[in-house]
Amino acid sequence: MTPDLPAILARLRVALPAATLTHLRNPGPSGQDSLLVAPDHLGAVCQFLHDTAELDFDLLSNVTGIDWPEPAQADAVAVPVEGTTPAACGFLEVVYHLYSTALRVGPLVLRARTVDRVNQVHIPSVVAVYRSAELQEREIFDLYGVEFIGHPDLRRILMWDEFLDHPMRKDYVAPDDYQYEPTPHDAVLEKAQQHYTV
């Protein structure tokens, strides 16, 4: 059963009047709208959704990182219902899919966005409310470079510790020596020569 997003939004606005919340419409056929939560109230919103008995969102199923180099692209996929000013620069986004196991409601889609993609890449961790975010937030930190404030053990998970970049970013450039061939030819030879002459 899909959650009644306007009703949940109204409840949240009563319970947490200081939190900035925006209803984002999904233009596609899936009908899964989402709720943009300002990062400073993300923990409180999750706690409220988890603790309120009538909502009972006890399962944080999926946590996804997204890189949006162009804010206009993000606004096309998740369209703000109320008029909001579009972001000035690209940002990283974390999407949470919440379910209620007892009430069989879901997915409730929450989104949180960083300020930019370079320096201000912080988002508060929700591990204190939902333990299931632990490995998934590590993965987003590893592959996207989002820094989760308050995560108990934030380190790389899939890439090795010495790795420097974040490979899931849209502007990631793979190193040109990844493909070793004993006898390189054609495109690989060209690439290899470029690499070894520099």
Partner 1 sequence: MSLSPHTASSASMPELDEDELLHVSLGPQHPSTHGVFRMNVALDGETVVSLKPVFGYLHRNHEKIAEGVTYLSSMPFTDRLDYICPLTNNWAYAQAVEKLAGIEVPERAEYIRIITAELTRLINHTAFVGFFLGDMGAWGSALMYAFREREKILDLFEDLTGARMMSNYMRFGGCRNDLPDGWAARASVLVNEFPRFLDELENLITGNEILIARTQNIGALPKEVLINGGITGPMLRAAGVAYDIRKAEPYGIYDRFKFRIPLGAVGDCYDRLMIRLLELRESLSILRQALDQLPEGAYIHPKAKIRNFKPPVGEAYARIESPKGELGFYLISDGSAQPFRYRIRPPSLINLTLLEDMCLGLDLADVVLILGSVDIVLGEVDR
Give contact residues for partner 1 (rule: CB under 8 A).
1, 26-30, 32, 58-62, 64, 66, 73, 76-78, 95, 97, 101, 104, 106-107, 109, 130-136, 143, 156-160, 167-168, 172
What are the Cα distances from residue 9, in Å, to 81, 129, 147, 174?
12, 19, 27, 42
Q: Which is nearer to partner 1, 82 or 161 (CB)?
A: 161
Nearest to partner 1 of 22, 132 (CB atom): 132
- Cβ atoms < 10 Å from Cβ of 192: 17
Shortest distance (Å) from residue 151 CB to partner 1 = 13
Q: Say how far apart CA 119 and CA 55 lie, in whole Å.
A: 36
Nearest to 80, CA basis, from 25, 125, 33: 25
Q: Could you tell me the smallest distance in angstroms from the CB atom of residue 15 to partner 1?
A: 21
User: With respect to partner 1, which residue has the nearer C-beta, 179 or 185?
Assistant: 179
Please report how close the Cβ of residue 6 comes to partner 1 at its closest, in angstroms: 19
Question: Cβ atoms within 10 A of the Cβ of 188, count?
Answer: 14
Minimum CB separation from partner 1 for residue 193, in Å?
24
Task: Report the alpha-carbon distance of residue 156 to residue 143 in Å, rounded.
Answer: 8
d(CA 2, CA 33): 10
The DSSP symbol for 85 reads P
Please list, residue by residue across 51-73, b when 16 or more beta carbons sit within 10 angstroms of its beta carbon and e when fewer do. eeeebbbebbeebebbbbeeeee
Min. distance of Cβ 116 from partner 1 in angstroms? 19
Q: Which is nearer to partner 1, 160 or 196 (CB)?
A: 160
Q: Which is nearer to partner 1, 73 or 84 (CB)?
A: 73
